[in-house]
Structure 1
Amino acid sequence: MGKENSFQNVLNQLDKTAEIMNLNHNIHNFLRKPQRSLEVSIPIRMDDESINVYEGYRVQYNYARGPCKGGVRYHPSVTYDEIKALAALMTWKCAVADIPYGGAKGGVICNTKEMSICELERLTRRYTYMILPIIGPEKDIPAPDLYTNEQTMAWMMDTYSMMTGYSVPGVVTGKPLEIGGTKGRSYATGKGVMFITRRALEYYKIPLKGSTVAIQGFGKVGSYAAEFLTEKGCKIVGITTVEGGLFNPDGLNVNQLLKHVRTGKPLSEFEGKNIEYVPNLEKANKQLLSMDVDVLLPAAMENQITHENANDIEAKIIVEGANAPTTPKADEILIDRGIPVIPDILANAGGVIVSYFEWVMSLQAFLWNERDVNLRLKQLILGAFDSVLSIHEKKKVDMRTAAYILAVGRVARAIELRGLFP
């Protein structure tokens, strides 16, 4: 798992979509390459006075529809190809949601678990300084992603503001509430996943109440999705984290599990009737991915569902909470087996939708209440689902291809209208 070239996978899907759409050859070629990429060297002084030099990236894949938008991730496995792939996915995701953004992504190759809070702050501030020429509220607006958070965004916003000489809250989203963030942003992706899962169950005529769900990854997306799905009457029968997995055919007590995990207690110490703890992550993932459930929700890393395990999947529906968790070869197997996949660029769009709301609020210096944020999120993401579903039914294609047809069509039209400079 995880050895697939993510960017090549994205290009393969784009090529497939372009052929179905009979997309203009010139626009197709244009969309196969990022419009701007920046690789930066990030020297920082460590707490022991040594100097480490980290490598970072910011890729702006396409900005035909508006300023670029995309997260920043800190992880040892970050690569340029991965960042290009995620920037492309952000381009399609924003277009599917029909918000006026292009797509971007950033990343730094580092291990946050081995760094102090002071080292992380210095890393963030230096990285922000190095990508300063290409970011800004009207250029490119970063947000949190893997192993970054509200505090990371606060440092980025402050660094940018210090360099401009005045406060610029609109340069990032996912900020703390106290400096221009919005209520509802922390759980927006998970809430969006819940809205999409509920609509998908309804479409495929599976009762919402009592439906069984297995969640790979119990971080910011998976844990909130579990919480909201439980509130709607779903049973979470299995979850995995980096520590392993927990399984219970009668359903896990999600409220207790959330308190347990969020207080930093080990997964192995969670107790309850009929609970099975699997300490090995590889074994836990293998068990979870093959569970006979109504919904499989991959919400961890890329390339988790591959041609090697796609035949083992017994879920009735897959809802992608993570970015690119399913490889193209696995997609083909799942299509042949009649297992529908609700793609990432639709299912996990809740985060970027509410990021858009936060950006609008920052530009206007006018805050919406939490109820309005959630109502507008529901309206936009379910509208996107209905648009994708319409293409799925009319063109008789799978849901991922339908989402790509919608997204690529919108971006292509923007390119046509703008024309070519000079």
Structure 2
Amino acid sequence: MNDDTILVINCGSSSLKFALFSAQQLNCIASGLAEKLGTKDAVLSVKSGDEKSSYCLDDADHHIAINHVINTLQALKLLVKDPLGIGHRVVHGGESFSDSVLIDETVLAEIEKCSALAPLHNPANLLGIQLMAERYPSTPQVAVFDTAFHQTLPETSYLYPIPYELYTEHGIRRYGFHGTSHKYVAEVAAKQLNKPLAVCNFITAHLGNGCSVTAIKNGLSVDTSMGLTPLEGLMMGTRSGDIDPGLFEFLNKIGMDSERISQMLNKESGLKGLSGQTNDMRTLFDLADKGDEKAALAIEVFCFKLAKYIAAMAASLPSIDALIFTGGIGENASRVRSAALEKLAILGFEVSHSLNNSNGRESEGRITEPDSTLSLVIPTNEELVIARDTLNNAVK
């Protein structure tokens, strides 16, 4: 028998994030994270209401971690029967998926094909699907793709200026990511403005360890900063974002092979690379306030590149109903938002320092002055979107 719950799974290469929702109200009743899987420091944290608990997993792999998650939810009497549906975050859906889909063998094969475009992500996503199918063979599973929202990009946005056959034969193009987050905050903003999403024009900035900016015209994604992979675009926590492609040839000449270059650009660059210390923006603020020049420089470069990309996204829109900040940095780092908005005065933005310092909590998210172009802070909820799409696809 099925329980009245929706289970959301986000399986990474060494982590497993989950959330359990009530199918009736779509409210989150439990969530958690298993991280550092495959190491002696593997740990599972679970939150239900005001209760938090932590469990040492001792070198656990994903299979053991998933079993521990399910057993914990059952012990808490939150998952009494089989879930009604299981939703999975899948990073790359290529051009095959423009919406969330019920998983079958055909869908699995397409996700596998896209693994070449996201070798760090899709194999882990597939593993999560496989493990949950073993645990709940009769429960419908749904794939929710990071790339799906961006399948409305026009050719002028998604094509790279390289030989066209590289697109037609190998699928090399801009795909974009964080689509679930960009879609969610745009929907929330439209409701706050009391306007149909189909007539809204937004710029959305998802800023966390990974960062991306999207232009949304009449409710549809028409440009975005991430590209073929999540490495392109904004400077991020450990990713470089945009660089001169000629850098690869230069680094090869000084002895770095492609694997080493990829490691450096994905794991050792961005805020961590420039500061030489950390990718945590809060720590960088503390260091900068104590006089650390490299930390201050990393923050300054981050804010400049953010403003530069936001301005670029404006070229795809006839007007701007709102600039929306979301993600861990976007929702909490008032200094980043202030610095970016001050550089965007040409677009009519004037930050309200009092509203911005409260992260918009006292003004329904608004952080700009009354006569300014509107900017909002809207907390993202990707798990809720996945749960909603799972319910819509699994129960018909």
Q: Same fold (TM over 0.5)?
A: no
TM-score (norm 2): 0.28
TM-score (norm 1): 0.27
Between 1 and 2, higher relative CO (CA 8 Å, sep ≥ 6) is seen in 1
